[in-house]
């Protein structure tokens, strides 16, 4: 069972249930945060071998080793985590 499953988005949950997932794989994530300074969060994420790529208000894009996901979701400052996925141009009208 996934701990902190309420913080994980549906794409991420599906990915975690995939038995072929490599624990060392790097995940690209959207992370919504609250109530923490950027410096404190950078330290916390650094401890998880994560890299903050973009900050936009209370949403970050983060690269994180897959085996650190449960620790990320357990942080009090993390509200929601979702797997980043490329936008498809096939779904858009010309």
* CA–CA gap between residue 79 and residue 75 (Å, rounded): 9
**Is 77 within a domain?**
yes
pLDDT at 69: 92
- What pTM value is reported for the model? 0.82
Domain span including residue 67: 5-11+25-85
Q: How wide is the angle at C-alpha 23 spanned by C-alphas 17 and 29, nearest 5°?
A: 70
Looking at the structure of the chain, the number of domains it has is 1
**Is 61 within a domain?**
yes
CB 71 within 8 A of CB 62: no
pLDDT in tens, 47-67: 999 999 999 989 999 999 999
**Is 37 within a domain?**
yes
CATH number at residue 35: 3.30.70.1150
**Is 64 within a domain?**
yes
């Amino acid at each position: 069972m996934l701990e902190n499953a309420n913080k994980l988005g549906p794409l991420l949950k599906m990915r975690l249930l995939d038995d072929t997932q490599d624990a060392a794989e790097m995940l690209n994530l959207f992370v919504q945060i609250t109530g923490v300074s950027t410096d404190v969060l950078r330290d916390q994420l650094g401890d998880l071998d994560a890299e903050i790529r973009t900050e936009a208000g209370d949403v970050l894009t983060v690269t994180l080793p897959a085996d650190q996901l449960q620790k990320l979701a357990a942080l009090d400052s993390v509200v929601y985590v979702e797997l980043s996925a490329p936008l498809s141009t096939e779904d858009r009208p010309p």
